[in-house]
A and B are shown apart, each in its own frame.
Chain A
Amino acid sequence: MIPESVKKYITPQVSIAPLAVFRFLFGFIMLVSIIRFTLKGWIYELYVEPDYFFTYYGFDWVTPLGETGMYLLFFVMGLAALSVMLGYYYRFGIILFFLCFTYVELIDKTNYLNHYYFVSIISFLLMWVPAHHSFSLDVLRKPSLRKEYVPAWTVNIFKLQLGLVYFFAGAAKLNPDWLVNAMPMRIWLPANADLPIIGPLLEYTSTAYIFSWAGAVYDLTIAFFLLWKPTRIFAYITVIIFHMMTYFLFQIGMFPFIMILCTLIFFSADFHQKIIGAISGLRKLLPFSVPNSEPTPKKSEEFQLSKNSTNVIGGILIIHFILQLLVPLRFALYPGHLFWTEQGYRFSWRVMLMEKAGHITFNVTDPATDRQWQVRNYKYLTPNQEKMMSTQPDMILQFAHYLEDEYQKQGINDIKITAESYVTLNGRRSQPMINSDVDLTNQDRGFTHKDWILPFNENQQNWFRSLQ
């Protein structure tokens, strides 16, 4: 049924080492991320302080758990990350981590980052693989778990996922603003001109072009060069250079480090054995003794799934990857300019592509008294929420509906809410984004095209369509 050329990536038994190291490093970097997030005070700022949260369509039931609840949730998430890292009750730990992390991300789309989506996906995939059958406390706890070999798919799904992320990120860069105008690099790079050594170089327009083109080439090709043994080491050096550059130039948080660690999965089993050796060596430095006698591996110690499990997990993963292929392309179903309307923008690996800023004013009319007034957005929203809303039509609509509810509570029924919005995109003058004649309270939320978004004058068609 499955051709041999594909089968060789799925069924053969391969060393568990890459998978075990991947689990360890992912757990580690997640633990660091959670601690960093907490220390920066973001739990409070993002999930306790706001009065209102921009939920995802269909996920309105996801609400924050209150101050104590949120801190507790992050504490549990931290423990889960530690459990993943150490491989201690791993299966429970990774499921818990996936649920906690995804729950937090679903609370408010103001905080949507491709990076967070990436973490959710990786932890989702980690739920289905036996990553704790080596180099883990679970093996010390229960030596019979120890396996030396796992089916190839358990390692390859991560390579595939990483490859998709990079490739779609690269494909998204093939647009006129990025390639022809070097936007938004032309705006962002000079803003870092105060950096030592490379700072002055960032002033040159040609530098912006080099970064744009090199970035597109990098994203489109890196997965292939990582897959191929002869180029792997050079490719990995490029991974480090590329992501460290983004770390220094942009406010991008933990993501560069996450990618630098995750792409190690492309390396060989021997390489990962050395990492395991090095990390195991570190335990000699501990002030207490840790038993180090993982049972000696035997060729026969292979991890085998039952037929039923194979079918279930196989089905889930096939659906997952079909969605991974289709979701980033869904923008093609919407008319208009993708960067302007942002219909189909999220969950599609469009990373660092836009310099967008805006200002929106909601005008309210009470038909009963014919009075008109404006909304103080900052009374309801945090600066960050206000900023994100002012350029994203679905959030604008959501906020209008929230205002309608608020006024209803005050006994003002059947109000009309229109929006006057100015948005700049990639270094152009601002222009109105929302049809200010439309009463937003009459518009429904959902995935259909929002015809109350005014067209973007220049480059009406999206890039995908103009190719056709």
Chain B
Amino acid sequence: MMIHSRITYFSAILMLSLSFAACSNSTSPDEQDNSDRSEMLNNYGNNIILPAFEEIQTAVKELQVAAQDFENERTLEQLENLQVALKDARIAWQDVSPFQFGPAESILLRSSINTYPVDDNEINDNISSGDYSFGGIDNQDIAGLPTLGYLLHGVGESNEEILAMYTTDAEAENRMTYLLDNITFVKDKIDTATSEWQSSGGDYIGMFLSQENAGTDAGSSLGMLINHYVRHYERFLRDGKIGIPAGVRSAGNPRPKAVEAYYGGYSVELAIANLNQIEQIFAGAGGKGLDDNLVSINNRVDFDTEELTSDIKSQIGDAQSALEQLSDPLSQQIENNNEAVLTSFEELHALVSMLKADMTSALGITITYQDNDGD
């Protein structure tokens, strides 16, 4: 009896250790999965994230050049060039905004350069007094891309009026300085984040692709990527760009001034660009992406992951069509026909549970960027 149970027990332990070896011959694994995941991370790091940062770096550099040209030659043509350069930078930002982890997170990139709506009264006070600083937690609404939008589109009714604010207005020089300072501030932030990512700089890409961060826990590369992807989608695209201005979050009272690019009037365009990037990230932009990863784990969960993948893609498609029904300026659309805006909110909203619950659960990713113990 005694010997018998001892043997039984031993065999339990042996089963545990030996069967690893045994099963390598007997069952076929989905071998590619692990290499799939590193291939996917590699694709994200090298083909999507890094180029997105380099793209906005270039755009902001051109923005600065356009601003200097405008300073030297204050004409309508230079103003319009500068307005175009700003729009290019804001569109480039849409590709970077889902990646607010790592260097971007530690320098508070998003809140520093893209907090809206802006506080136009304080901006004007700052211009008058010439006494201001950028980059503090309390003064994010007087700096960055939205502030540039106000300075280049909101200080006059027409471009002639705006130009006058930089030529004949009493505070023309102060205003020009504030504009240039703001561009320098944005450029510094973008340069820092970009160089931190580059292997020639802080080499965050090296850490992002390293073996020790290849897992799926809260601090792993994939864990961070997906957490911030979902968080961005939920808070900054669905809510920030559409839901909040439409009044979904403010007791049903629309807040048209809360749209992104209120003064520039191209909010819908930015939202569509951002949603396209959400789609690109899911699909891996031509390379291995979350879609491939989901499909490759089909045997691990009790539903058809191909079906989930196509459901996600078709829901993104529905949201895109809904956004395309909207017209810029979004603030006017909200005032005139908010129903369409609310419909596009619903379409965006329908994707959240698929990304946040189904996708992350199937991939074994925990949704929380807080490190904690489990049991």
Q: Which of A187, A195, A207, A371 contacts B20 (CB 8 A)?
A: A207
- Complex formed: what's the CA distance from A70 to B20 in Å? 47
Please determine whether A241 and B13 come into contact, CB atoms closer than 8 angstroms.
yes
A8 to B303, alpha carbons, bound, how many Å? 55
CB-CB under 8 A for A234 and B303, given A42-B372, A191-B216, A387-B368: no
On whether A427 and B362 interact (CB within 8 A), knowing A205-B300, A373-B247, A422-B353, the answer reads: yes
Q: Does B301 contact A (CB under 8 A)?
A: yes
Residues of A within 8 A of B16 (CB): 210, 214, 241
Q: Which residues of B contact A206 (CB under 8 A)?
A: 19, 23, 26-27
B308 at the interface (CB under 8 A from A): yes
The docked-state distance in angstroms from the alpha carbon of A234 to that of B362 is: 37
- Residues on the A chain within 8 Å of B373, using CB: 113, 115, 251-255
Closest CB of chain B to A413's CB: distance in Å?
Answer: 13
Q: Tell me the minimal C-beta distance from A243 to chain B in angstroms.
A: 12
Chain B interface mostly: helix
In the complex, what residue of chain A is closest to B220 when comparing beta carbons?
A194
Are B352 and A359 neighbours in the complex by a CB distance under 8 Å? yes
Mask, B12-29, CB within 8 Å of A = 1, is 110110011001101101
Contact of A205 among B12, B299, B367 (CB under 8 A): B299
Nearest CB on B from A370, distance (A): 9
**What are the interface flags for A375-392 relative to B under an 8 Å C-beta threshold, 1 for contact and 0 otherwise?**
110100011100100100
Contacting A at CB under 8 A, from B339-375, are 349, 352-354, 356-358, 360-375
Q: Distance (Å) between the CB of A441 and the closest chain B CB?
A: 16
Contacts of B250 in A (CB 8 A): 373
Residues of chain B in range 1-41 having any CB-CB distance to chain A below 8 Å: 2, 5-6, 9-10, 12-13, 15-16, 19-20, 23-24, 26-27, 29-31, 33-34, 37-38
* Contact flags A119-132 to B (C-beta < 8 A → 1, else 0): 00000000000000
Shortest CB distance A358–B (Å): 5
B281-320: CB near A (< 8 Å → 1, else 0) gives: 0000000000000000101111100001000000000000
Instruction: Specify which chain B residues have a CB less than 8 angstroms from the CB of A383 in the assembled complex.
Output: 231, 367-370
For window 31-66 of chain B, which residues contact chain A by CB distance below 8 Å? 31, 33-34, 37-38
Q: Can you sample 25 A-B contacts with CB below 8 Å? A: A183-B302, A191-B216, A191-B365, A194-B215, A200-B29, A201-B23, A204-B23, A204-B29, A205-B29, A205-B300, A206-B23, A210-B19, A225-B9, A235-B9, A241-B13, A251-B373, A355-B364, A366-B251, A372-B252, A376-B239, A383-B370, A424-B361, A427-B300, A429-B303, A430-B361
Q: Assess whether B24 is in contact with A204, with CB atoms less than 8 Å apart.
A: yes
Check if A387 sits within 8 Å of B367, measured CB to CB. yes
CB contacts under 8 Å to A, within B214-250, are: 214-218, 231, 234-235, 239, 243, 247-250
**Measured between alpha carbons, how far is A203 from B308 in the docked complex, in Å?**
21
Contact assessment for A356 and B361 in the assembled complex, using a CB-CB cutoff below 8 Å: yes
- Nearest Cβ in chain B — how far from A431, in angstroms? 10
- The chain A residue with its CB closest to the CB of B363 is A191
**Are the C-beta atoms of A194 and B211 separated by less than 8 Å?**
yes
Give A411-468 interface residues, CB cut-off 8 Å to B.
412, 422-424, 426-430
Chain A residues contacting B13 (CB-CB under 8 Å) are: 234, 237-238, 241
Contact A187 B364, CB 8 Å, known A114-B375, A206-B23, A384-B370: yes
Number of A-B contacts (CB under 8 A): 194
Does A192 reach chain B (CB closer than 8 Å)?
yes
Number of interface residues of A (CB under 8 A): 79
Closest residue of chain A to B211 (Cβ to Cβ) is A194
Is the pair A430, B353 in contact by a Cβ cutoff of 8 Å? yes
- Kindly name the residue among A40, A45, A46, A355 whose own CB sees the greatest number of chain B CB atoms within 10 A: A355
Contact code string A179-208 (vs B, CB < 8 Å = 1, else 0)? 001010011101111110011110111110
A334 smallest CB distance to B (angstroms)? 22
Chain B residues bordering chain A, tally (CB within 8 A): 70
Contacts of A181 in B (CB 8 A): 302
Closest-by-CB residue of A relative to B214 is A194
A190 touches B361 (CB 8 A): no
Contacts of A225 in B (CB 8 A): 9
Mask: chain B, 181-224; 1 = CB below 8 Å from A; 0 = not:
00000000000000000000000000000010011111000000
Contacts of B370 in A (CB 8 A): 45, 382-384
Interface check A144, CB cutoff 8 A:
no
Is A231 touching B361 in the complex (CB atoms < 8 A)? no
CA separation between A113 and B373, bound complex, in Å?
8
Complex contact A428–B300 (CB within 8 A): no
| Contacts beyond the supplied A230-B6, A429-B303: 7 A-B pairs with Cβ under 8 Å | A187-B362, A191-B363, A203-B29, A357-B360, A361-B349, A366-B251, A383-B231
- Give the residue among B235, B247, B248, B361 with the most A Cβ atoms within 10 A: B361
Say if the beta carbon of A5 comes within 8 Å of chain B: no
A429→B300 contact, CB < 8 A: no
User: Is the CB–CB distance between B297 and A190 below 8 Å?
Assistant: yes
Instruction: Please give the distance in Å from B335's CB to the nearest CB on chain A.
Output: 17
Bitwise interface map of A from 30 to 59 toward B, beta carbon under 8 Å scored 1, else 0: 000000000010100110000000000000
Indicate whether A100 reaches chain B with its CB closer than 8 angstroms.
no
Contact of A424 among B349, B357, B365 (CB under 8 A): B357
Encode A235-249 as 1/0 by CB contact (under 8 A) with B.
Answer: 101100100000000
Q: Is the CB of A217 within 8 A of B12?
A: yes
Whether A280 is near chain B, meaning CB under 8 Å from some CB there, is: no
A203 CB contact (under 8 Å) in B31, B214, B303, B353: B31
CB neighbours (8 Å) of A352 from chain B are 374-375
Nearest-Cβ distance from residue A144 to partner chain B, whole angstroms: 42
User: Using a CB-CB cutoff of 8 Å, which residues 353-370 of chain A contact chain B?
Assistant: 355-359, 361, 364, 366, 369
A221 part of interface (Cβ distance < 8 Å) = yes
CB proximity of B220 to chain A, nearest CB, Å? 8
Enumerate chain A residues within 8 angstroms of B374, measured Cβ to Cβ. 113, 250-253, 352
Docked CA distance A221–B216 (Å):
32
Contact assessment for A429 and B308 in the assembled complex, using a CB-CB cutoff below 8 Å: yes
Complex interface: chain B residues within 8 A of A251 (CB) = 217-218, 366, 372-374
Which residues 113-158 in B have Cβ within 8 Å of A in the complex?
none
A187 pairs with B29, CB closer than 8 A: no
Contacts of B2 in A (CB 8 A): 230
Are the CB atoms of A355 and B211 closer together than 8 Å? no
Closest chain B CB from A329 CB (angstroms): 20
0 or 1 for each of B247-265: is its CB under 8 Å from A? (1 = yes): 1111111000000000000
A205 to B360: give the CA distance in the assembly, Å: 19
Contact of A357 among B216, B308, B367, B375 (CB under 8 A): B367
Residues of the B chain whose Cβ atoms lie less than 8 Å from the Cβ of A190 = 33, 297, 300, 364
